[in-house]
Amino acid sequence: MEQRTAEDRVLDAAGGLFYARGVHAVGMDDVRDASGVSLKRLYQLFPNKERLVTAYLQRRDVWWRDRLATHVAGEQDPRRRPLAVFDWLDGWFHEPDYRGCAWINCYGELGATSAPVAREARTHKESFRTFLRSLAVDAGLPAETGDHLLLLAEGAIVTSAIVGDLDAAAKARAAAARIVD
């Protein structure tokens, strides 16, 4: 099996399992079974579970940010783009496999014991913050407005996942609209 194909299969399988069940609940045997990649090959690609988790988070970051950016770019009015973030979050929260933020979930499981996982979580959150700050500036608002939007967005993500409030993004959007307007 070609390296890229095997790596993709492993990351697809691990990503689905980690997001659905959590990192601790998924063993390398589970990833092997779901990917169809031998355990020997799996360990050649990812010598330990920590490396697999960080690769999963890096890959998910690209997927997550691309989806968000594409949605926001569809809003023609730069002053409405910060609010489009919350519209996208609302759609994400209503997806059938939604289980909260992968980085918060992994950080909660491993952040205290895995510097690479903690670093991936921080990198993702900082990228989200930078994105929101750029949207604020493009909308003619102070960059710090992006920090306020980040707190609202992150609060909505946590609330939707933990409390099960699928309308958390709409509620956060209403607060964001007051800030933006």
Which CATH number does the domain housing residue 61 bear? Answer: 1.10.357.10
Average per-residue pLDDT for the chain: 96
Q: What is the full DSSP assignment across 102-160?
A: HHHHHHHHHTTT-HHHHHHHHHHHHHHHHHHHHHHHHTTS-THHHHHHHHHHHHHHHHH
Which has more pLDDT, 177 or 181? 177
Residue type, 62: V
42 & 58 share domain = no
- The pLDDT tens digits for 101-148 are 999 999 999 989 999 999 999 999 999 999 999 999 999 999 999 999
58 & 122 share domain = yes
Q: Rounded distance, CA 169 to CA 180, Å?
A: 15
- Split at pLDDT 50, 70, 90, the class of 18 is very high
Q: What is the CATH number of the domain that holds 11?
A: 1.10.10
The mean per-residue pLDDT over the stretch 73-91 comes to 97
78 & 152 share domain = yes
- Counting the structural domains of the chain, the total is 2
Whether 1 has a pLDDT exceeding 80, the answer reads: no
149 & 85 share domain = yes
Question: Residue 160: its pLDDT value, please?
Answer: 97
87 & 162 share domain = yes
Residue type, 35: S
Whether 168 has a pLDDT exceeding 90, the answer reads: yes
62 & 36 share domain = no
Which structural domain range is residue 15 located in?
Answer: 1-47
- Split at pLDDT 50, 70, 90, the class of 95 is very high
- Split at pLDDT 50, 70, 90, the class of 91 is very high
40 & 126 share domain = no
Within a 13 Å sphere around the CA of 35, how many CA atoms are in the beta-carbon half? 29
Q: Rounded distance, CA 59 to CA 75, Å?
A: 26
173 & 132 share domain = yes
69 & 34 share domain = no
43 & 59 share domain = no
81 & 160 share domain = yes
169 & 92 share domain = yes
Residue type, 107: Y
